[in-house]
C-alpha cells in the first residue's frame, strides 16, 4: 500500500466532509450535503471495509469490522455525519499511526541500512570493486579515507582512525593499525587500511546486532503478556456488551437510542492504545540503546534492569585496566638519578618474560628513555632477575638478590598501597625501588558515581589480594569490597544480595564468571563488540569497553518502564472516561473515535520521546586523562602515572 494513496484517501474524504458542511450551511440543498457526507464515508471506509473482509476470510473479527459496522449502522439511522467522521478519523489515525510507528522502528532500520553493499578487493594485487556478497573469507579488501569498512576483519597493513559509532555507539574514532580488529558498517575517517575479511554479510557483528535488537524488540515484557491476555477478553466483552445494549427494549441514555449507543460502544471500545502502549515503548527503548552501543535482550530484561539496585563488578579489566603499569621510581643511593634507576631496571628486564617486566620497560620508554637489550641475564625463580648491564650486575626483585640486605619498609609501604615493589640493585647494593600496579580505568570513577546517584549499591568482587582490592575499592568509593574470591564465591555474593532483597546486575567477562552471570537478575558483558558469544548471551551487552554505559543502560530501562506505565494509564483512563462520558451523555460516535485516535497517537508520541539521544559525551563519561611521567627533581622521589 503506497503512502500517497493512504494520505490521498484521507485528504479526499476530508475535503468531501468540508464540501458537505459548506453546502449544508450555505444552501438549502440537504440532499446534496447528505450525498457528499455519504461519499466521504464511502471514500474513507472502502479500504477499511476491504481490510475487514480480508480479516473475515482468515476467520478474524478485526477492529476494522467494528468500525465498518458502526459506520454502516450510523447511515441506517440517517446519521451521515457520524458515519463520515468515524471512517475519516479512523483512516487518518491509521495513516498517522503507521508513519509514527515507523519512526520508532527507525533506530533499527538505520542499522540495517548502514550495512555496506560494495567493497574494493585485491585480486592478483589489483583493486576491484565487487558486491559484498561476492567476497570470501580471507579476501584482502582495501579501505580508503572516508570509505565504509565492508567486512569484519583484521588489519594487515596501514593505519587509520575508525568511527565505530554504528557498533559501539562511540563517536571518538578508534586508532587502528596492523593486527587491529575492524567491523563491517564502521567508517574509516583517516588513513588507508588493508583488511583481511573474516566475517561477511550475515556473519558480521553488525548483522548479529541487528538480529539481537530485532529479537529484543519482539520479546514481550511480562506486562505486555498480561495486557494481551486482558485484551483477548476485553474485545469480545465490548462486542457482547454492544449487542446486549442494542437489543435492550428500554433506553439507557436519554440523548440517543440504544442502537446508536451500541454502535458508539463498538467504536470507543477498540483496544488500540491498550495493545500498542507496551510494544511501542519497548521498540523505542531498545532501539535507542542499540544506537548508543548497548544491547538489551528484550522487554522482560528491560523490566528487570529497571529494578536493579545492586551491581556486582569484577575488578580486573572492568574497574582497572587489567595490565600493570609503572607507578613509582624511588632512589636509595644518591649517586644515581631516577632516570638511571629506571633505565637500569628496564634494561635488566628486557631479558624477562614476566608481565611486570613489560610494565617497567613501557614505563621507561614513556619517560623518553632508550632501552637497549641485555645479552646475559639469569632469572631467579620467585625472586626476580639478575642481568649484566655494561659490565655491572643489575638485579631487579626481592632483597634476596642483594648482598647487603636493604631496609624493607618502603617496599612494605608500597605493597600496602596495592603495588608490587621491587629493589633495583647494582653489584649487590640497592640503588632504588621500582613499583608497578594495575591502574584504575579513567572512566571507572564516573561510572561508580553515576550508579550511586541512581541509588545502586556497588559491590566489587575480585580474586586479587585483599590489600590490592581494598586500595582500588577505597579510591573508587565502592560500597562493599570482596577479595581473594574463587569464581564460585561470586555466585555466593549474588545469592546473598538477592536474599537481602536486592535485584542484582553482575558485570563479568563471561568465562569464569558464567555461573554468577547466570544467577544474577541481569548479566552484563562489557566490550562485547569483539565477542559474538557475549552479544548472543548477555542480558545487557555493552558494545564498547566502557563501564559508564551500564548506569546509562539501567537509566534508560527505568525510563522505558516508566513510559510503558504512563502509556497503559493513558489507554485505560481514555477508555474509562469515554465509557463514563457515553452513559452520562455527550460522547458521540465521532467524538469517541477522535478521542480514541488521539490516545493512540499520544501513546506513540510519548514512546518516541525515548528516541531522543541522552548519552552525554564527556558528561557521564569522563574525558580521557593524558598520562604523564615526571622524572624531574622533587622531594617525593616518586613517579605517578
Partner 1 sequence: MSVREQVKSIVLRSDEFSCPSCIAKIENKLNDLDGVESAEVKFASGRVLVDYDPAKVSVRDLVAAVAEVGYAVKPSAF
Binding site for partner 1 (CB under 8 A): 1, 50-51, 54-55, 57-60, 62-64, 94, 97-98, 101-102, 105, 108-109, 133, 201-202, 207, 210-211, 213-215, 217-218, 272, 275-276, 279, 282-283
- For partner 1, the closer of residues 119 and 446 by Cβ is 119
First-to-last alpha carbon distance for the chain, in angstroms, is 63
Residue 108 CB, nearest approach to partner 1 (Å) = 7
SS3 487: helix
Residue 102 CB, nearest approach to partner 1 (Å) = 5
The Cα 91–Cα 85 span in angstroms is 10
- For partner 1, the closer of residues 94 and 347 by Cβ is 94
Q: Are the C-beta atoms of residues 209 and 295 closer than 8 Å to each other?
A: yes
**C-alpha dihedral sign at 9, 11, 14, 19:** negative
Residue 98 CB, nearest approach to partner 1 (Å) = 4
Joined grid coordinates for residue 548? 559508564
Cβ-proximal residues to 288 (8 Å cutoff; 6+ apart), any chain: 107, 556, 610, 611, 612, 613, 614
Residue 594 CB, nearest approach to partner 1 (Å) = 17
Residue 6 CB, nearest approach to partner 1 (Å) = 9
The Cα 501–Cα 523 span in angstroms is 17
Joined grid coordinates for residue 575? 477508555
Where residue 102 falls (left for φ over 0; alpha for ψ -120 to 50; beta otherwise) is alpha
Q: Are the C-beta atoms of residues 515 and 494 closer than 8 Å to each other?
A: no
SS3 226: helix
- For partner 1, the closer of residues 242 and 414 by Cβ is 242
Residue 106 CB, nearest approach to partner 1 (Å) = 9
What Å distances lie between residue 335 and 330, 340, 430, 431, 639, CA to CA? 13, 10, 11, 8, 18
- For partner 1, the closer of residues 98 and 229 by Cβ is 98
SS3 134: helix
Q: How many CB atoms sit inside 10 A of residue 449's CB?
A: 17
Phi, psi at 175, each rounded to 5° = -75, 130
Write the DSSP string, 182-203: E-TT-EEEEEEEEEEEEE-GGG
Interhelix angle 549-584/299-307, rounded to 10 degrees, is: 110
The DSSP 8-state label assigned to residue 41 in this structure reads: H
The two beta strands, 181-182 and 320-331, are: unpaired
Q: Are the C-beta atoms of residues 236 and 256 closer than 8 Å to each other?
A: no
Catalytic residue among 152, 314, 464, 509: 314
- For partner 1, the closer of residues 210 and 556 by Cβ is 210
Nearest to 528 by CA among 551, 547, 552: 547
What Å distances lie between residue 292 and 105, 221, 441, 470, CA to CA? 15, 22, 20, 33
Residue 280 CB, nearest approach to partner 1 (Å) = 8
- For partner 1, the closer of residues 269 and 527 by Cβ is 269
Residue 50 CB, nearest approach to partner 1 (Å) = 7
Residue 576 CB, nearest approach to partner 1 (Å) = 21
Q: Are the C-beta atoms of residues 48 and 87 closer than 8 Å to each other?
A: yes
Joined grid coordinates for residue 391? 659490565
Residue 1 CB, nearest approach to partner 1 (Å) = 6
Residue 45 CB, nearest approach to partner 1 (Å) = 15
- For partner 1, the closer of residues 108 and 493 by Cβ is 108
Joined grid coordinates for residue 407? 631496609
Q: Are the C-beta atoms of residues 604 and 276 closer than 8 Å to each other?
A: yes
SS3 505: strand
Residue 103 CB, nearest approach to partner 1 (Å) = 10
Helix (H) or strand (E) holding 302: helix 299-307
- For partner 1, the closer of residues 64 and 314 by Cβ is 64
**Is 334 among the catalytic positions?**
no
- For partner 1, the closer of residues 184 and 550 by Cβ is 184
Joined grid coordinates for residue 177? 593499525
Nearest to 49 by CA among 75, 31, 15, 30: 75
- For partner 1, the closer of residues 215 and 378 by Cβ is 215
What Å distances lie between residue 141 and 122, 130, 131, 475, CA to CA? 6, 10, 12, 46
Nearest to 85 by CA among 264, 306, 322, 353: 264
The two beta strands, 187-199 and 140-143, are: antiparallel
Q: Are the C-beta atoms of residues 331 and 569 closer than 8 Å to each other?
A: no
Maximum pairwise Cα distance, the chain: 120
Catalogue the active-site residues: 314
Amino acid at each position: 500500500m503506497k503512502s500517497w494513496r493512504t494520505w490521498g484517501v484521507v485528504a479526499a474524504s476530508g475535503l468531501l466532509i468540508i464540501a458537505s458542511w459548506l453546502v449544508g450551511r450555505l444552501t438549502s440543498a440537504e440532499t446534496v450535503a447528505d450525498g457528499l457526507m455519504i461519499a466521504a464515508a464511502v471514500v474513507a471506509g472502502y479500504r477499511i471495509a476491504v481490510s475487514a473482509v480480508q480479516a473475515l476470510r482468515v476467520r478474524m473479527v478485526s477492529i476494522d469490522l467494528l468500525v465498518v459496522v458502526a459506520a454502516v449502522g450510523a447511515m441506517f439511522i440517517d446519521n451521515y455525519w457520524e458515519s463520515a467522521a468515524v471512517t475519516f478519523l479512523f483512516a487518518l489515525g491509521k495513516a498517522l499511526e503507521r508513519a509514527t510507528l515507523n519512526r520508532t522502528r527507525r533506530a533499527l532500520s538505520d542499522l540495517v541500512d548502514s550495512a555496506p553493499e560494495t567493497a574494493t578487493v585485491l585480486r592478483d594485487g589489483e583493486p576491484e570493486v565487487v558486491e559484498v556478497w561476492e567476497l570470501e573469507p580471507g579476501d584482502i579488501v582495501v579501505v580508503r579515507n572516508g570509505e565504509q569498512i565492508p567486512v569484519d576483519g583484521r588489519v594487515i597493513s596501514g593505519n587509520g582512525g575508525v568511527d565505530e559509532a554504528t557498533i559501539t555507539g562511540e563517536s571518538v574514532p578508534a586508532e587502528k593499525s596492523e593486527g587491529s580488529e575492524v567491523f563491517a558498517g564502521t567508517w574509516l575517517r583517516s588513513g588507508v587500511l588493508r583488511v583481511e575479511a573474516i566475517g561477511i554479510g550475515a556473519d558480521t557483528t553488525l548483522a548479529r546486532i541487528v538480529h539481537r535488537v530485532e529479537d529484543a524488540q519482539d520479546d514481550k515484557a511480562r506486562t505486555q503478556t498480561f495486557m494481551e491476555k486482558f485484551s483477548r477478553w476485553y474485545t469480545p466483552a465490548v462486542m457482547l456488551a454492544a449487542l446486549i445494549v442494542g437489543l435492550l427494549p428500554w433506553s439507557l441514555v436519554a440523548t440517543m437510542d440504544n442502537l446508536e449507543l451500541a454502535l458508539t460502544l463498538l467504536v470507543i471500545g477498540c483496544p488500540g492504545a491498550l495493545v500498542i502502549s507496551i510494544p511501542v515503548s519497548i521498540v523505542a527503548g531498545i532501539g535507542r540503546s542499540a544506537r548508543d552501543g548497548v544491547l538489551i535482550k528484550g522487554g522482560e530484561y528491560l523490566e528487570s534492569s529497571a529494578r536493579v539496585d545492586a551491581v556486582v563488578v569484577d575488578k580486573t579489566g572492568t574497574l582497572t585496566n587489567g595490565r600493570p603499569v609503572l607507578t613509582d621510581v624511588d632512589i636509595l643511593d644518591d649517586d644515581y638519578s631516577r632516570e638511571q634507576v629506571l633505565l637500569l631496571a628496564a634494561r635488566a628486564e628486557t631479558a624477562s618474560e614476566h608481565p611486570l617486566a613489560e610494565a617497567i620497560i613501557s614505563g621507561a620508554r614513556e619517560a623518553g628513555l632508550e632501552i637497549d637489550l641485555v645479552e646475559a641475564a639469569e632469572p631467579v625463580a620467585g625472586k626476580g632477575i639478575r642481568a649484566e648491564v655494561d659490565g655491572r650486575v643489575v638485579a631487579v626483585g626481592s632483597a634476596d638478590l642483594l648482598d647487603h640486605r636493604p631496609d624493607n619498609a618502603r617496599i612494605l609501604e608500597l605493597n600496602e598501597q596495592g603495588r608490587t615493589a621491587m629493589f633495583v640493585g647494582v653489584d649487590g647494593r640497592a640503588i632504588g625501588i621500582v613499583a608497578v600496579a594495575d591502574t584504575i580505568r579513567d572512566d571507572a570513577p564516573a561510572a561508580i558515581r553515576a550508579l550511586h546517584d541512581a541509588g545502586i549499591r556497588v559491590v566489587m568482587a575480585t580474586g586479587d589480594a585483599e590489600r590490592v582490592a581494598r586500595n582500588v575499592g577505597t579510591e573508587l568509593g565502592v560500597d562493599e569490597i570482596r577479595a581473594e574470591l574463587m569464581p564460585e564465591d561470586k555466585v555466593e555474593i549474588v545469592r546473598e544480595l538477592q536474599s537481602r532483597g536486592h535485584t542484582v546486575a553482575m558485570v563479568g567477562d563471561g568465562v569464569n564468571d558464567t555461573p554468577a552471570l547466570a544467577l544474577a537478575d541481569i548479566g552484563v558483558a562489557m566490550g562485547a563488540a569483539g565477542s559474538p558469544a557475549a552479544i548472543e548471551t548477555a542480558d545487557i551487552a555493552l558494545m564498547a569497553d566502557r563501564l559508564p554505559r551500564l548506569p546509562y543502560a539501567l537509566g534508560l530501562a527505568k525510563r522505558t518502564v516508566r513510559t510503558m506505565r504512563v502509556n497503559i494509564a493513558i489507554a485505560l483512563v481514555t477508555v474509562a472516561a469515554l465509557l463514563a462520558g457515553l452513559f452520562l451523555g455527550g460522547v458521540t460516535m465521532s467524538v469517541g473515535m477522535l478521542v480514541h485516535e488521539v490516545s493512540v497517537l499520544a501513546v506513540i508520541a510519548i514512546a518516541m520521546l525515548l528516541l531522543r539521544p541522552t548519552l552525554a559525551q564527556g558528561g557521564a563519561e569522563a574525558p580521557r586523562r593524558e598520562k604523564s611521567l615526571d622524572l624531574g627533581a622533587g622531594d617525593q622521589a616518586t613517579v605517578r602515572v
